[in-house]
Amino acid sequence: MGFCQTYCQLLFREVLFFLRALPQIGKERRCIVCGWRFSRFLSTGIDVRPDVRCPRCNSHERHRAVWFYLNGNTSLFNSKKKKLLHVAPEFCFARKFRKLRSIEYTSVDSWYGLAQVNQDVTRLRFSDDSFDCFIIIHVLEHIQDEKNALGELHRVLKQGGWGIIQVPMDLSLEKTKEDSFADTPEKRLAAFGQDDHVRLYAKDFKIRLEHAGFKAEYIDMWNKLAEKDRELYRISENEPFYFVKKN
């Protein structure tokens, strides 16, 4: 039932986003994930960020930044097949990963949605050393038991495997902000900037990743790209992420 539901969700969005994209076609913007070009991207977000969401595949700034990195800095797309775990899959990535012969793709979420498997990332039902790589984007800030989530990702990753982990971060803060008394949507909104977040990450996120057993590298695609490409692909300076390895 889950696989059927996932397929129907993907098919519905394929049709809906295709029709949505047609009036937006142009030359001023390009989505590196789906390859389409537009006169302008769509607006999105609670804070209503203009010109950032791809009409065709629904990628945001963070997804395009990650895709740049995956393309240029990993072997994910070469001929040797890799087992990829994708947590809380985004449409823009799921539709691509499922079709690539270089990837044996598994997606999980605590509700089916676009995921193939219904699993909680804090209690994964996979054997140790099951995957060559994983991707988890804007998920950990929603999870109370971050320690178990990171522990599970480390456990199921093969020795020498790698992952992409991204969370919203306030780099003006030295220490991640957590508050056990922020137990209502209103209090979480006031404390963390969004009513379904349970913490606001800071500069110490790398230390938290290292405590979980990962070697972590801070990636800032904004500073790696030329200004014209930042504008063409609409990459944000506020969406860094970490490339982690299990050594």
The model's confidence at residue 205, banded by pLDDT at 50, 70 and 90, is very high
d(CA 128, CA 3) in angstroms, rounded, equals 24
d(CA 69, CA 194) in angstroms, rounded, equals 27
What was the pLDDT predicted at 46? Answer: 76
Backbone phi and psi for residue 243, each to the nearest 5 degrees, phi listed first: -100, 120
Average pLDDT over residues 144-173: 97
Average pLDDT over residues 51-60: 97
* Structural domain spans, the chain: 2-245
| Backbone CA torsion sign across 90, 95, 96, 99 | positive
The percentage of residues in the chain with a pLDDT greater than 70, rounded to a whole number, is: 98
CA angle 214, 175, 213 (to 5 degrees): 10
**Single pTM value for the model:** 0.92
Each as own residue / partner, the long-range contacts of residues 214-218 (CB below 8 Å, 24 or more positions apart, any chain) are: 214/150, 214/154, 214/163, 214/244, 214/245, 214/246, 215/244, 215/245, 215/246, 215/247, 216/165, 216/242, 216/243, 216/244, 217/242, 217/243, 217/244, 218/242
What was the pLDDT predicted at 45? Answer: 76
Tens of pLDDT, residue by residue over 57-91, are: 999 999 999 999 999 999 999 878 999 999 999 99
Contacts of 156 by beta carbon, 8 Å cutoff, 6+ apart: 85, 124, 126, 127, 128, 129, 130, 131, 134
Confidence check: pLDDT of 1 > 50: no
What was the pLDDT predicted at 7? Answer: 72
Contacts of 58 by beta carbon, 8 Å cutoff, 6+ apart: 13, 17, 90, 91, 92
What was the pLDDT predicted at 5? Answer: 65
Confidence check: pLDDT of 128 > 70: yes
Confidence check: pLDDT of 247 > 80: yes
d(CA 87, CA 135) in angstroms, rounded, equals 6
CA 2 to chain centre: 21
Contacts of 186 by beta carbon, 8 Å cutoff, 6+ apart: 195
Q: For domain 2-245, is the CATH number 3.40.50.150? A: yes
What was the pLDDT predicted at 130? Answer: 98
Supply the mean pLDDT for the chain.
Answer: 94
